[in-house]
Amino acid sequence: MTTTDSNKAMPFEGLHEECGVFGMYDFDGGDVASSIYYGLFALQHRGQESCGIAVSETSGPKGKVTSYKGMGLVNEVFDGETLEKMRGDIGVGHVRYSTAGESTRENAQPLVLNYVKGTLALAHNGNLINAKELKKDLEYTGAIFQTTIDSEVIAYHIARERLQSKTAEEAVRRACMKLKGAYALVVASPRKLIGARDPFGFKPLCIGKRDNAYILASETCALDTIGAEFVRDVLPGEVVTITPEKGVESDMEMALPKEKEARCIFEYIYFARPDSHIDGVSVYGSRIKAGKFLAMDSPVEADLVTGVPESGNAAALGYSLQSGIPYGTAFVKNGYVGRTFIKPKQSSRESSVRIKLNVLKEAVAGKRVVMIDDSIVRGTTSDRIVRMLREAGATEVHVRISSPPFLWPCYFGTDIPEREQLIAYKRSIEDIRKIIGADSLGYLGMERLDEMVEGLSICRGCFNGKYPMEPPKEDIRGEYFDKEIDMAKKLERNL
């Protein structure tokens, strides 16, 4: 069922898209669909709502694109027969996560379209803050919108800029220059694979190579999975064009000075897979460091350091390494909680947290436990997990958070609720500690972030309200923001 709102009724659409993108072009003419499948599979943690693949044959009739998309996980949507039919040596894929209400097949990506120069297939990760204005402008010149995703706005701009551009890549760059916000784009034109990353570099995008094929992917783990080598990251503000004739060409026209870059720190803290490297920095390494800093800055005497799975584990190891307190597993996570899992009713004796996590009594009984988590949003889940540890016999529970407190909304794709719902909003650390029932509580200091990501320039908007660009005046997240999403959603991820 699709619900389409006029932009009268809904100020801003397609918000808060954390997603994964993957593009591939095999210069030797081999089919890329199955490699895209495995690539998306490696990026599945970035989006479990829907996915899709679009491919075309560069040697075939110009611009014939075969695409398939659906709701669900990569291995639910695709079967061998479907992949088999998707012939093409160039293509893009997408996995989608959406916190907005618009969870429909219509909004699945890649977006495939005909325009003046043939066809385009486009996959996008990120969130535009001027999509509303852009949409209005487009509509005032006769555009129609069939989805509520930003990608359609981007596609229109590419199509329109194409009229005044010599090449597709020029059109992509000219379109990008009109966009404000976060985006990592992968575009397959009939003969070119084009990638673009916004000037702030909010979202990651990297280049890989396997034999005579080039890959663009949100994370390096997708390269490892398909046996490709990492070539380099696409730079913030860069547009790369991949063709058999010229290999990888770079256009840096819209790049900013390095110090203005504003990577999303949450890619390191929990979005990305730990085995990925983003802009030269190991995600795993940054988490280990965060844990070490916590041990230095918020030390405590304890018998066990443990992480809330999965994203807290690396920081817990770091804390252990620094503090000398033994690391251990305290939780067993049920890895089968999926998209279609039936949540217990309020009235029932079961609880969502207990179904997803169980405590290893042997590991914690009689021990003073340091429990590391990546963040606290509303605090309700933290409260329950602390209680579970105590019930299992932990004598003390010291909570350490591998990020600073959330105090501000994010407009660039990270799913953070309204300030009023943030536990840290207008509360002292001591207040929070009491609410979650911990014996002590420590957050990662803001000053540690630089070191954590080896000096890369990052966005700290959710911590200090200072955004790399003027945020929209009205709350663009509007009615679509789903207030139920929190730790529980994160717990459903397997990495």
Catalytically active residues, by annotation: 19
Task: Extract long-range pairs of 250-253: CB within 8 Å, 24+ residues apart.
Answer: 251/169, 251/170, 251/173, 253/173
Q: SS3 letters for 182-230?
A: EEEEEEEECCEEEEEECCCCCCCCEEEEECCEEEEECCHHHHHHCCCEE
Question: Whole-angstrom Cα distance, residue 421 to residue 439?
Answer: 23
Count of residues in contact with a second copy, rule CB under 8 A: 114
- Is residue 462 a known part of a binding site? yes
**Residue 7 or residue 167: which is nearer to a second copy going by CB?**
7
Q: Does 434 bind a second copy (CB under 8 A)?
A: no
Binding residue for a second copy, selected from 12, 22, 284, 406, defined by CB under 8 A: 284
Q: Does 118 bind a second copy (CB under 8 A)?
A: yes
Q: Does 35 bind a second copy (CB under 8 A)?
A: yes
Binding residue for a second copy, selected from 93, 126, 181, 190, defined by CB under 8 A: 190
Q: Does 271 bind a second copy (CB under 8 A)?
A: no
**Residue 221 or residue 235: which is nearer to a second copy going by CB?**
221
Residues in Cβ contact with 473 at an 8 Å cutoff, skipping those fewer than 6 apart: none
**Residue 213 or residue 265: which is nearer to a second copy going by CB?**
213
Per CB under 8 A, the segment of 155-163, 290-298, 412-420, 482-490 that binds a second copy is 155-163
Least Cβ distance, residue 250 to a second copy (angstroms): 26
Q: Does 108 bind a second copy (CB under 8 A)?
A: no
What are the Cα distances from residue 172, in Å, to 184, 219, 320, 382, 412?
12, 22, 47, 44, 20
Spatial contact of 107 and 98, defined as CB atoms under 8 Å apart: yes
Least Cβ distance, residue 419 to a second copy (angstroms): 25
Question: Whole-angstrom Cα distance, residue 176 to residue 161?
Answer: 10
Residues in Cβ contact with 319 at an 8 Å cutoff, skipping those fewer than 6 apart: 291, 292, 294, 295, 305, 325, 327, 370, 372, 400
Binding residue for a second copy, selected from 19, 112, 205, 476, defined by CB under 8 A: 112
**Residue 215 or residue 255: which is nearer to a second copy going by CB?**
215
Burial 293-316 (b: 16+ CB within 10 A, else e): bbbeebbbebbbbbbbbbbbbbbb
Spatial contact of 449 and 458, defined as CB atoms under 8 Å apart: yes
Amino acid letter at 109?
Q
Span 311-350, contacts to a second copy by CB under 8 A: 313-314, 317, 321, 326-329, 332-338, 340-342, 344-345, 348-350
Q: Does 91 bind a second copy (CB under 8 A)?
A: no
Span 348-377, contacts to a second copy by CB under 8 A: 348-351, 354-355, 358-363
Least Cβ distance, residue 282 to a second copy (angstroms): 5
Per CB under 8 A, the segment of 234-242, 273-281, 418-426, 451-459 that binds a second copy is 273-281
Question: Whole-angstrom Cα distance, residue 40 to residue 20?
Answer: 7
Question: Whole-angstrom Cα distance, residue 300 to residue 158?
Answer: 55
Q: Residue 46's Cα: distance from chain center in Å? A: 5
The residue with tokens 């407190």 is 405
Least Cβ distance, residue 259 to a second copy (angstroms): 27
The residue with tokens 């089919």 is 31
Least Cβ distance, residue 26 to a second copy (angstroms): 10
Q: Does 71 bind a second copy (CB under 8 A)?
A: no
Q: Does 210 bind a second copy (CB under 8 A)?
A: yes
- Is residue 264 a known part of a binding site? yes
Binding site as annotated, residues for [4Fe-4S] cluster:
264, 410, 459, 462
Binding site as annotated, residues:
264, 311, 373-374, 410, 459, 462
